[in-house]
Amino acid sequence: MRITAIVAAVALPAGMTGCGAHHRSTATRTPPSAKLTGVHPCPGQPDFACSTLRVPLDHAGQAGGTLRLAIGVSTATAAPRGVLLFLTGGPGQPGVPFLTFVQVRLRAALAGYRLVMFDQRGTGAGALGCPALQRAAGASDLTVVPTAVVAGCARSIGSGRRYYSTAETVADIEALRVALGTGRLTLDGVSYGTYVAERYALRYPTRVARVVLDSVVPQAGVDPLYRAALSSSARVLRSVCAAQRCRWDPAADISAVIKRFRDGPALLDALVADSVAAPSYPGVLDALHAASAGRPGALDAFLAAVRRGEATPARLLSQGSHESTLCLELAQPWDPDEPRAQRAATIARLAASTPETGVYPFDRATATGNGLAQGCLAWPPTQPPAVPDGAPASDLPPVPILLLSGERDLSTPLAWARAEAAMAPKGQLFEVPGAGHSVQLEARDPAVRRMLARFLRGA
C-alpha cells in the first residue's frame, strides 16, 4: 500500500501505503450551503478551473474552525457520464497538482466524464508540516524514523490532528458533491485513495455510480506488522526470477541476507519501493544473491539509492498528514488511544501468534521493526481521544466496481485486492501480470486502460 502512487510516477525513482480501518472521528453533517469559491484557471493546467471549498475542521460540530480545500475541475463542457472524482494516495498526497498528469494518462477512459481532483485535508498548500519527519521519511511509510522525530511532529500539530481522518475526508467529499451540484459520483481511487472510496461508498451508497479501486487497501484494515507484503515477497521475486531466468531462489537469498546482516526493515522498504517505481526489479536479484554470499556492496548501493529517491517535499506528500491519518486507522486490535506500552504489547502478541512461515522470507523482527509499526508506536494518542465512527467492515454497495491489482505490487499486495473483491457484490478483479503499484497509470499493457475505458462507459 505505497503512498506515492502518483508522486513516484511523476518525480521519484522509488515509490505506500494507504491506511487501514480503525474508523475514527464521527463526521455526519454536510453543510447544505457547500459551494466552490474563487474560481480561476489552474496555473499551468489550462484544461482545469481551480477553486476553494471551505469545510468544517470537525464535521460533527464538536470543535470549531474551518479548512480551505483546493479543488480542480475539468473545463470540458460535455460530460454526459457525470463527474469522476480521482482520489490520490497517501495519506498525505494532494490531488490538484496531478490533474493534467491523470488526464493525459487516462484520456480515452475519461471520455464523457468531468474529471475532478482535490487536495485532501492536510495536503498540498495546507500540508501538515513536520520538517524533521519529512526529511527522515520522505515518501516512505516503512522507513524507521527516530521516536523523538515522530513524537515531535505529533506535538507540533497538536490535538487537532484527530480531525485528519478518513471519516472527515469522506464528509469533505460529500460536501464537494453538493458543491458540484451532482447527484452521484464515479470514484476512482489509487492506493490510499481506494480506502477513501470504499469508506465513501459505505457511508453514502446511493451517491455512488461506479467505483475503480486500483492498488487496493482493504476496508478491513492493514495490520501494523504488514504481513501481507512480507509473505508476498517470495512470490513476487520468484516471478521476477522466472522472467529474468535466474537460476536460484531469491526468497532464500532474502532470508539469508536478513540472518547475516539484520537489516530486514530497510530491505522491506526498498523492495516495496521498487514494486511502485520499477516492478521489473532491475539488478535487485543479483544484488541479493551476492549479499547472501557475503558480498553486500551492490545491495548496500541499492538501499542507498532507494533512500535518496524517497526524498519528497511536504507539498507532494505530507508526512504530518500521513502519520495523523494512518496512526488513527490501523486495523484492530490496534487501538490508537491506548498508551504506547499497551500498543507495543499488542504488536508483540501479533508477532508471537504469527508463524515464521507467515512472514517468510522475512522474519518476525522485520514485522515488528518496520517503520509502519514503529512510527505509529511513537505517535502519541490524541487528547481528547478520537471518537469511533461505528462503521465495521461490510459488503460494498451493489454498484459496478472494478478492482485492479499488479501481480508484483508489494505496497498493496494482491491478497488485499482479493479480500476486498470478495466484499464487492458487483465487483470484478483484474490481476495484471508483471505490473506493480498504480496499475491504471503505470501498467505497460494497453489492455489495462482498454478495460478501464469499457468499465467507465458501462460496457
CB 427 within 8 A of CB 448: no
Beta partners for 116? 73, 85
Residues 338-346, mean pLDDT to the nearest whole number: 95
Contact 93/141 with Cβ under 8 angstroms? no
Which tens digit of pLDDT belongs to each residue from 60-76? 998 999 999 999 999 98
Q: With a cut of 50, say whether residue 120 has pLDDT above it.
A: yes
Per-residue DSSP letter, 24: B
Amino acid letter for position 123: T
pLDDT in tens, 20-58: 444 444 455 555 678 999 999 999 999 999 999 999 999
Other C-beta atoms closer than 10 Å to the C-beta of 419 total: 16
- pLDDT for residue 141 is more than 50: yes
Do 408 and 236 form a contact (C-beta atoms < 8 A)? yes
For the cut 60, the answer to whether the pLDDT of residue 3 exceeds it is: no
H helix intervals, 207-335: 227-244, 250-261, 264-277, 284-292, 297-309, 319-326
Domain count, the chain: 1
- H or E segment to which residue 39 belongs: strand 36-42
Q: Which residues pair with 211 in a beta bridge?
A: 187, 401
Range of the domain at 414: 1-459
Asked whether residue 310 carries a pLDDT value surpassing 60, the answer given is yes
Q: Name the residue among 416, 418, 405 with its Cα closest to residue 448.
A: 405
Contact between 437 and 275 under an 8 Å Cβ cutoff? The reply is yes
Given a contact cutoff of 8 angstroms between Cβ atoms, the answer to whether 18 and 3 are in contact is yes
- Closest alpha carbon to 222 in 147, 186, 272, 179: 272
Is the pLDDT at 281 greater than 60, yes or no? yes
Q: Cα(208)–Cα(417) distance, rounded to whole angstroms?
A: 20
Averaged pLDDT, 332-359? 94
Predicted pLDDT at 332: 86
Mean pLDDT within 256-268: 95
384 pLDDT exceeds 70? no
What's the gap between Cα 166 and its chain centre?
12
Average pLDDT, rounded, for the chain: 91
- Output the nine-digit C-alpha cell for 245: 531466468
pLDDT of residue 28: 52
Using DSSP, state whether 72 is helix, strand or coil. Answer: strand
Instruction: Give φ, ψ of 388 to 5 degrees.
Output: -60, 145
| pLDDT tens-digit readout, 202-244 | 999 999 999 999 999 989 778 899 999 999 999 999 999 999 9
Q: Which residue has the cell 463526521?
A: 27
Q: What percent of the chain has pLDDT over 70?
A: 91
Residue closest to 404 by CA, chosen among 213, 211, 209, 191: 213
Quote the radius of gyration of the chain (alpha carbons, Å): 21
- Write down the pLDDT at residue 221: 76
* CATH label of the domain that carries residue 378: 3.40.50.1820
